Amino acid sequence: MIKKIGHSKISSFFLFIGLFLWLFTNGGIVNWAVGLLLIILFMMIEKISLRRKSIVESVVLLALMLFALLRFEIFLRMDVSSLQADAVIGNTAKYILCIGVWLALRSIIKHEKAILLKSLIRPLLIINVVFFYTQFIVKLVTNFYIDAAKYIVGEESRYQGILNNGNGIGSFRATGFYVEPSNYFFTVLILSILLLLIYEFKSCKKLIIITILSMFLTLSTAAFFIGALYVGYIFYIQKVSWKFYVVITIITLPILIFSFSNIGLLYERQIERTQGNSGNMRMALLEEVYDRDSDHILTNYGLFAIDRKLFNLTYNFGGVSREVASINDSGLFIAMWAKFGLLGVLYFMILCLLQRKRSIMNLIFFLIISLTKVHLFTPVFILYLVVSLGKENFIKNSSNYIQEDITFAPLQITQTLNSNRA
The residue type at 317? F
Average pLDDT over residues 307-336: 76
Between 306 and 420, whose confidence is greater? 306
Between 155 and 252, whose confidence is greater? 155
Domain co-membership, 331 together with 388:
yes
Alpha helices in 81-180 (DSSP H): 82-86, 88-109, 114-119, 121-142, 148-152
Domain co-membership, 132 together with 261:
yes
Domain co-membership, 210 together with 130:
yes
The confidence band for 16, taking pLDDT boundaries of 50, 70 and 90, is very high
Vertex 43: Cα angle to 39 and 49 (nearest 5) = 130
Residues 125, 195 contacting (CB under 8 angstroms): yes
Residues 55-105 have pLDDT tens digits of 999 999 999 999 999 999 998 888 888 888 888 999 999 999 999 999 999
Domain co-membership, 36 together with 103:
yes
Does a structural domain hold residue 240? yes
Name the percent of the chain lying above pLDDT 90: 40
CA 171 to chain centre: 26
Residues in the chain: 422
Domain boundary among 231, 246, 273: 273
Domain co-membership, 191 together with 176:
yes
Residue 414, pLDDT score: 35
* Residue 160, SS3 per DSSP: strand
Residues 26-44 have pLDDT tens digits of 767 899 999 999 999 999 9
Domain co-membership, 294 together with 417:
yes
CA distances from 126 to 24, 121, 295 (A): 16, 9, 48
Query: Which of 220-224, 272-276, 378-382 is the most confident on average?
Result: 378-382
Residues 212-251 have pLDDT tens digits of 999 988 887 778 889 889 988 988 887 666 566 666 666 5
The confidence band for 347, taking pLDDT boundaries of 50, 70 and 90, is very high
Residue 126, pLDDT score: 96
Does a structural domain hold residue 283? no
- Tell me which residue of 335, 326, 322, 321 sits closest to 381, measured CA to CA: 335
pTM, rounded to two decimals:
0.84
Domain boundary among 210, 238, 273: 273
Residue 420, pLDDT score: 41
- What is the number of structural domains in the chain? 2
| CA–CA gap between residue 334 and residue 312 (Å, rounded) | 17
Domain boundary among 273, 305, 325: 273
Handedness of CA 247, 250, 253, 258 (dihedral sign): negative
Q: Is 302 left (phi over 0), alpha (psi -120 to 50) or beta?
A: left
Domain co-membership, 219 together with 269:
yes
Domain co-membership, 130 together with 240:
yes
Burial class (CB in 10 A: 0-12, 13-18, 19+), 317: exposed
* Residue 324, SS3 per DSSP: coil
Write the DSSP symbol of residue 353: H
Residues 159, 175 contacting (CB under 8 angstroms): yes
Does a structural domain hold residue 383? yes
Residue-by-residue DSSP string for 231-278: HHHHHHHHT--HHHHHHHHHHHHHHHHHTHHHHHHHHHHHHHHHHSHH
For the chain, what is the radius of gyration of the CA atoms?
Answer: 22
Domain co-membership, 136 together with 261:
yes
Domain co-membership, 98 together with 137:
no
CA distances from 396 to 115, 287, 386 (A): 9, 47, 16
- Res. 296: pLDDT tops 80: no
Domain co-membership, 133 together with 268:
yes
Domain co-membership, 410 together with 304:
yes
